[in-house]
Chains A and B, each alone.
Chain A
Amino acid sequence: MSGDNRARLLALYATMCRIRAFEETALAAHRAGEIPGPLHVSIGQEAVATGVCLNLQADDRITSNHRGHGHALAKGAGVAGMMEELFGRAGGHCRGKGGSMHIADFSVGMLGANGVVAGGIPIAVGAAQGLRMLGSSAIVCCFFGDGAINRGPFLEGLNWASLYDLPVLFVCEDNGVAAFTRAESVTAGAGVLARAEALGVAGVSVDGNDAAAVDDAASRLIAEIRAGGGPRLLHATTYRLMGHTSTDPARWREAGEVEAARAHEPILRLRARLLAEGAAMKALDAIEGDAWAEMSAARSAALAAPWPDLATAWEDVQDIGAAQEAV
C-alpha cells in the first residue's frame, strides 16, 4: 500500500469515526433527555457521505435530506454548531431554530438538510444552474434516499440537469427501506440507475459500505462532471443499522437481520482492511478515541450552552417591510 493511499484510507476512517461518534453521542443525549427532538441517524451508512465528500472542494455545494448529520460533517460543518443545533441552543448553526432536520451551514456549502423527501433534488439542480450562470466551476452533490426516487422531483430534477448538462452528482443512498417500508415493495422497474439512464444521466452502483469503493467511484464520476460531462448518479447500497428515527426500535425487522448486517458495517470493514494492510491498531484506536472525545466535549459544551434568547423567535421571519407604522 502506498503512503498516499494509506493516508486516504485513514482520512476516510477518521471521518467515519467522527460521524459515528457524533450520532452515537447525540443518541445518548437524546435518551438522556438532553436533545428535545427526534434524530434520524445514519449509523451504518457513514461510508457514503464520507467517500463522496472526500472528493468535494470547499466551494462545492451539497444538499441533504432528513438523515443528514453525516453529509454535513463530511462536508466540513462545525461540530460545535451542529451539536448545539441538535440541543436547540443559541450557538447552533441555525441559532437553534432548525434542529436536526434543517441543519444548514452555508459557510461550507452545506445548503441544508431537508425534511421533505426529495426536497433537496431540485434545489441542487437549481444551485448548479445558478453556479453556472455565475461562472463558477463548483459542482453540487445531492444526497437522497431510495424513497426519493418514487417522487416527482427526482424526474423533474434529473430531466433538467441532463438537458442542460449541469454539474450535479446525484447520490442515491439505498438502504433498502423508506421510513418503515421496504423500498422493493413500493418501487417498480429496474431501479434508480435505470431510471437515471432513461433520462440521459449515466451512473454506477457501488457497495456503499465500502468507503474506499465509494471514494473511487465518486472520484471518477466527479472528475467526469468537472470535465463538463454533465450530471452523474452514484447508487450506493448500504444498510441502516438503526430504526427510522431515534424513537423507532425497528423491531419490525426480522430477527438476526441487523446482527447479520453488523458484520458488513463500514467502519469495521475499513478497520479490518487497514489492519490487514499493516496499519497499527494503536493508531486506529487513537483516531477513534479522538472522535469520541471530540463529540463528548461537544455534548458537554452544548448542554452548558445558553438557550436562544426568546426575542429570537420573532427574528429572521423576513425583512418585514414598510407597513409597521402606527395604526
Chain B
Amino acid sequence: MTQILMPALSPTMTEGKLARWLKKQGDTIKAGDVIAEIETDKATMEVEAVDEGTLTSILVPEGTEAVAVNTPIAELNGGAGAAPAPAAREPAAPLPKAEDHGAVAATGAAKKEGAASIPAQPAAAAPEKDWGPTKPITVREALRDAMAAEMRADPDVFLMGEEVAQYQGAYKISQGLLEEFGPKRVIDMPITEHGFTGMAVGAAFTGLKPIVEFMTFNFSMQAIDHIINSAAKTLYMSGGQLGCPITFRGPNGAAARVAAQHSQEYASWYAHIPGLKVIAPWSAADAKGLLRAAIRDPNPVIFLENEILYGQTFDCPTAEDFVLPIGQAKVEREGSDVTLVSFSITVGLCMQAAEALAAQGISAEVINLRTIRPLDIATIARSVRKTNRIVTVEEGWPFAGIGSEIAMQVLEHCFDDLDAPPVRVCGEDVPMPYAANLEKLALPRLEQVVEAVRKVTYK
C-alpha cells in the first residue's frame, strides 16, 4: 500500500485546495497519469502518479480546502518499489505564443510557483524512434546520401552552388551527384552568392525546391539580403500566398587556421529571423536525418554543417526512410548533476567534458540541440528540472548568442529549479585569430567546460 501525499507546489506553500479528482476509487493507474488537480491562490497544478497500481481509497474528497502539505490524500495498491510522493506537473503550457504576451508572463509566474520545490520527477521525453540497424559512415557521406535520397524521391529538388558539380563539392559533399542526376539538377554557379541565392528564390517561386550550397557560411553574408528579405519573409509579406522551400547548407563555424573571415559561427545570426528554421547537426545520423527533413520542409531552412566534422565517423541508421524531426533535441548522455547544452561540433566537446566530470564524481547530462530554431526548450527544461544546473557551450560569440537565448528561456520556464545561475561557454569575443595557439584560445576548451560545471555545482 502506497500513500499519495499532498504535494507542495512551492517552497512557501503550506496548504492548498484539492480541487478535483480525475481518477476514482478502483481505477487502474499508470505512472504519469494525472490523478488530481490542486489549487493555491497562485496556480492550479496537476498531480501525476509516479507508480502503477489500483487506487484503493481516496482519503480527501475533492473540493476540500486547506489541505496541509504532506497529508495523505489517497492510497494506491500494487506497483513494485512504490515511492510515496506523487509528482505534480504544471498545467500543459505551450511555448509562449506571441498573440498573448500577457499569458507568457502569467505562465511564467505559474511555473515559478509550481516548479519550485516539487520532487524532481520530470515528465519523460518521448523516446526517439528506433530505426534499427546502423553502420558507421562519415558526416560527409551522410550529407551526400541525404541529398541523393531526396533528389531520387522528388524531381523538384536540385542542388546549386559553387563547385558542386564538376569538382564534386569544395569539401566533396556532392560526390557522385552530377554523375547520377546530371547538370540540370547539379548546377555549378559562379562566385555570386547574392545573385544565386536570389535565383534560388525565383526557382522556388516556380515550385522547385533548391538546395543552395554555400562553400562556407562565411560567404552567405553576401547573400543575407535574399535569405532574409526574400526567402524568410515572402510567405508573410504575401499574406500566405507562397513560401520559399529552400535548404541553405554548408560548413559553418571555425575551420582551422583560416582566420577571421573564414571562421565564424552563424547560428545566432540566422536564429534571430522569424521565417527561418535553423539546424546544426553533430553526428552523421543528425546530418542525414535532418538534412532530409530540411529538404522536405516547406520553409527556408538554414542547415549549418561543420568542416571539421565532415570526416568524422558515427553510426547511422541504414533504413531507407530514415529521417529525423526538425525541432527535437537529443539527450546524448544522461546525467543528474548538471545539464550541458550544445550543438554541432561542441556537442563532442561536451561529451568529452562529461567523461572528465564523471571521473570527478559529477554526472553531466548532455543535450544535443540538433535544431536551433524552433528551439526544443521542452527537452532543456525537462533536464534542468532534474539537474537544477545548466551550462551552454557554443563556438559563437557570447553577446546575444544561442547560450544567452537558452539562459533566458530557462529563466522563463524553470527559474525556481535553478540552484545556480546559468553559465555560458562561448567563443572568445574577438575575431578569429590566425596563429594556432591564439585560435585554440579563442574557441571553447575542455577545461572551460569543466570549470563552468564546477562553478554551477559549487565544487
Query: Which A81-106 residues have C-beta < 8 A from chain B?
Result: 92-98, 102, 104-106
Q: Tell whether A152 pairs with B236 under 8 Å between CB atoms, given A130-B203, A323-B376, A324-B374.
A: no
Shortest Cβ gap from B115 to chain A (Å): 10
Q: Tell whether A126 pairs with B203 under 8 Å between CB atoms, given A321-B277, A323-B374, A324-B374.
A: yes
Shortest Cβ gap from A115 to chain B (Å): 7
CB-CB under 8 A from B198, the residues of chain A are 119, 121-123, 125-126, 153, 156-157
Complex: chain A residue closest to B98, CB-CB: A314
Tell me if A79 counts as interface (CB < 8 A to partner B).
Answer: no
How many chain B residues touch A (CB < 8 A): the figure is 63
Shortest Cβ gap from A88 to chain B (Å): 11
CB-CB under 8 A from B99, the residues of chain A are 310-311, 313-314
Q: Mark A286-327, 1 if CB is under 8 A from B, else 0.
A: 000000000000000000000000110111111111111111
Tell me if B109 counts as interface (CB < 8 A to partner A).
Answer: no
Query: Which A187-209 residues have C-beta < 8 A from chain B?
Result: none
Q: Tell whether A102 pairs with B237 under 8 Å between CB atoms, given A122-B202, A134-B207, A318-B274.
A: yes
Query: Which A143-184 residues have C-beta < 8 A from chain B?
Result: 152-153, 155-157, 159-160
Tell me if B377 counts as interface (CB < 8 A to partner A).
Answer: yes
Tell me if A131 counts as interface (CB < 8 A to partner B).
Answer: yes
Contact of A122 among B199, B208, B325 (CB under 8 A): B199
A144 to B136, CA, bound (A): 52
Q: Is the CB of B197 within 8 A of A134?
A: no
CB-CB under 8 A from B240, the residues of chain A are 95, 315-316
B interface majority secondary structure: loop
How many chain A residues touch B (CB < 8 A): the figure is 59
Tell me if B94 counts as interface (CB < 8 A to partner A).
Answer: yes
A87 to B198, CA, bound (A): 29
Further 7 A-B residue pairs, CB within 8 A, beyond A111-B205, A126-B202: A106-B238, A133-B203, A156-B190, A157-B198, A160-B189, A316-B238, A327-B377
- Which 8 pairs of residues, A with B, have the shortest CB-CB distance? A156-B195, A122-B198, A126-B202, A126-B199, A95-B239, A130-B206, A323-B327, A130-B203
Please, could you name 28 A-B residue pairs with CB atoms under 8 Å apart, sorted by A?
A93-B239, A96-B239, A97-B237, A97-B239, A104-B238, A106-B205, A106-B241, A112-B238, A122-B201, A127-B205, A129-B203, A130-B207, A133-B203, A152-B195, A156-B190, A156-B194, A159-B190, A160-B190, A160-B195, A313-B98, A314-B98, A314-B99, A316-B238, A317-B275, A321-B327, A322-B327, A322-B328, A327-B381
A residues near B (Cβ < 8 Å) are 61, 63, 92-98, 102, 104-107, 111-112, 114-116, 119, 121-131, 133-134, 136, 140, 152-153, 155-157, 159-160, 310-311, 313-327
B residues near A (Cβ < 8 Å) are 90, 92-95, 97-99, 123, 158, 184-185, 189-190, 192, 194-208, 225-226, 229-230, 234-243, 274-277, 297-299, 325-328, 371, 374-378, 381, 413
